[in-house]
A = this chain, B = another copy of it.
C-alpha cells in the first residue's frame, strides 16, 4: 500500500530562529504588527510503500532521524495516511 506522510521540522524552542525574527520585524513594516513570534521550519511531503500504516510510520520516523531532521537543533512531528 502507498502512504502519504506530512512532516514538520521546526527549530527547537530553546534556540534562536533568526529567519523567524527577521520575518516578525518585517510584519510591522507591512502593517501587520498584530503578528508576532514567527518561527520558520521545513514542511516535507513524501510517499512510502509499506505493508501497513505502522510500518509506514516506522520508515518515516527512520527517514526523519537519519536524514530529514537534525535532532540537535530541530524537532519533528509527522502524520501518515493512506494515499
Measuring CB to CB, which residues of chain A are less than 8 angstroms from any residue of chain B? Answer: 6, 8-10, 20, 23-24, 26-27, 30, 32, 34-50, 59-60, 62-63, 66-68
Contacts and interface: CB of A to CB of B under 8 A. Distances in A.
Contact of A35 (B27, B30, B63): B63
Contacts of A37: 45-47
A34 B59 contact: yes
Copies of this chain per assembly: 2
A47 B63 CA distance: 30
Contacts of A23: 44, 67-68
Contacts of A20: 44
Contacts of A27: 63, 67
